[in-house]
Amino acid sequence: MSERDDDPQAVEHPQDGAPTGPSPEEFRARRGRNVALAIGLVVFAVLVFLVTVVRLGANVLDRPL
């Protein structure tokens, strides 16, 4: 047993050839998916708002004051 095995502060480094994290291409792909998802969510929210306004239509003005 070495001294490193007992040290809780010791940082384990990946072996050569082991993946260390997402590559730049994976980051770009993930960002692209996130942007597409955000755009889809905004479009959906606007669509729900517009459908609500169209369905209410002039009925909003016919309510008693």
Q: For position 20, what pLDDT does the model report?
A: 77
What is the tens place of the pLDDT at every residue in 3-58? 555 655 655 556 666 667 888 899 999 999 999 999 999 999 999 999 988 888 87
Q: Is the Cβ–Cβ distance between 30 and 22 less than 8 Å?
A: yes
- Domain spans in the chain, listed from the N-terminal domain onward: 23-65
Q: Which residue, 26, 44, 46, 25, is CA-closest to 36?
A: 44
Q: pTM of the prediction?
A: 0.58
Structure tokens at 25: 């291409």
Which residues are within 8 A (CB) of 10 and not within 5 positions of it... i.e. 6 or more apart? 4
